[in-house]
Every structure is written in C-alpha cells, then in structure tokens.
Homo-oligomer: A and B are copies of this chain.
C-alpha cells in the first residue's frame, strides 16, 4: 500500500497503533518522567523532574546519508534515533522524548514506513526514548528528521552539568571509547563485495547499521569530573577539529594508539588507520581531561577507553597526526561537510 492511498491521517493512526504505549521506554525513563499527551494533539506534553533540559536534532537524507534503494528501513529507523541519542550522550544527559518528521514521496510504501518506525521504537526501548509526536509531509526525497529532548545531569547541589566542546584545556589528554572506523568498514562491505570472514563482516556491518551510542558512559564521565566531550559522528578528524575550534586549541594524535578492531584491521589492512581517522558514524565518545583524571576514568567502565593524544596550544587550532617515529602523517581531507560533499573514507 502506498502512503498516498492511506493518506496522512490514516498513516498517523497506523503509526500510533504501531508504537502503542511504548511501555519499555517508559520503564527506563523512570516514574518521575512521564508522557501526558503523545501523538495526536498540537504538541506533546510530559512531566519531567530536573531544572535543565537538552534538545538536539539530526536529519538523514536519501542519497546523501543512505542509498534510496535496497535500504533496511528498520535499521535506518534505529540509526536515525540512535544518532540523536548519541548527541544527548555526548552532553552527559538522559534522552527522553522524540519528535519524528518524515518527508516521503507519494509512492513510498506504508510497510516501509512501519518498518522504519519499528526500528526507531526498538532503539527507543533500548535507550528509554518515547516517540511523542512528529510530522508527516510529502517530498521528492525520503528525509528522516528526529528532534530529541533530554534531561541534563545535575551536580549534587542541583546545578546542571554538561559535557561541552569548548571545555578542553591545553595539556589535556584526548581519549576515545571503543574502537574507530568500524562503521566506515561496514559501509564499504555494504557497497562492495570484499574478501572477509563472515564474523568480521557481521561485526562491521552491525557497527554501520545498528550503532550503539554510549549514554551511560557520557553520564559517568560527567559525574567523574570530565567536562569536554563530543560524539564521533562525522569522523575523528572532523569532530576533534570541532573541539579544537570551540576550545581554541590544537591537538596532536598518535596514529599508532588509535583503537582499531581486529575485524577492521584484518579486513582492511591498508586502510584501517585512515578509516579510524576519517570514518564517521561510530558514535563513540571522544573526551579530554587532565592525565590523572583520565587515568582514573580508564578501567571504570566496561567499554575500553584509549588515550590517543594531547590537546596543545596552537594558533591554527589544527589536528596533527604523528606516526610511531613522530613523523607527521596526512590523510585525504576527511570528514563530512554537507554542502561540500563527502570525501572518500
């Protein structure tokens, strides 16, 4: 059935039924935060404790962020919500309520919209996000926009705390969670057929289609005293550059220390480092802090944390990459700029 046959309001009803009470997500939100009015009124209304609030939005466009053919819509739904959850994680907050806007061509299939919502609801159950409303519009391209609110973490004295991009200090160590480049590896495997063990293929593809943002880690870092973090969505080089600009510093990264999974290293022995530097969509957290604090942080979380470099005073606010011998390594301009297009990764 095409969305044009069901109509806007029929489709809203269908999706509302599909989402149901979202009880699992509500359980994670806790009894003090609850939805009073959800899908079907002029706005969503919820009660939430706490004095400070977070909101973020992230958009995925067909043929820009994902191919318009052969898409797993459920995976894409998961990813659209997860990308926003990751932004709340990178502030050290707790995600709460999402508004979902879908721009769809007339001939788009209702089954595919439902699959998209199922994937989104699955991510919602996992991360305690309730889908509370949204908008459906006709367009020539599929565009998925999620706006996500969250609750900020508070200090014991009730002051709002956040992980910021502009809070790095010269001399801070730069650390990242997990391993980098897996999602870029997964994308390559989805686009080309390459020699690869089934286990590695599964691991890398999963990193690409079902990314897992680190909400608990963000909150934990903030509580331990870390104040500067960003999530790696556009690639290490690009996202670290955002931290450098905001904090008015430079950074020096040791490429030999970059955490690269065995699966990525084996499948792409030549390119693994470049993928770790330039590949986006890993949704790992990058953070900075004084050496003694970063030392204390390491080992306190189940996810591995790796020190990859140092923040430095530097007029150009540049990110430099050094190899084991201390020689500078350059990578093809890596990262994502929407209006300039993507560079190979």
Contact = CB atoms under 8 A, between A and B. Distances in A.
B90 A164 contact: no
Interface string A140-182: 1101010101101000000010111110000000000000000
Contacts of A91: 37, 41-43, 45
A190 interface: no
Interface stretch (A49-57, A272-280, A307-315): A49-57
A61 B231 contact: no
A31 to B, nearest CB: 14
A132 interface: yes
Interface residues of A, number: 73
B147 A147 contact: yes
B152 A45 contact: yes
Contact of A56 (B65, B99, B340): B99
B51 A48 contact: yes
A202 interface: no
Given A137-B59, A338-B8, A42 B149 contact: no
A75 interface: no
A324 to B, nearest CB: 31
A42 B87 contact: yes
A132 B55 contact: yes
Contacts of A139: 61, 64, 141, 143
Interface in A1-42: 3-4, 6-9, 11, 36-37, 40-42
A49 B50 CA distance: 9
Contact of A53 (B48, B103, B165): B48
A133 interface: yes
A270 interface: no
A56 B40 contact: no
B149 A55 contact: yes
A318 interface: no
B36 A56 contact: no
B57 A135 contact: yes
20 contacts: A8-B338, A42-B230, A43-B150, A44-B56, A45-B54, A45-B91, A47-B53, A48-B51, A48-B53, A55-B133, A56-B99, A57-B133, A57-B147, A59-B135, A61-B139, A65-B137, A140-B141, A143-B143, A145-B145, A149-B149
A276 to B, nearest CB: 21
A64 B99 CA distance: 21
Contacts of A49: 51
Contact of A101 (B6, B55, B132, B145): B145
Contacts of A45: 52-54, 91, 93, 152, 160, 162
Contact of A40 (B57, B138, B150, B246): B246
Centre residue among A44, A99, A137, A147 by max chain B CB count within 10 A = A147
A339 to B, nearest CB: 4
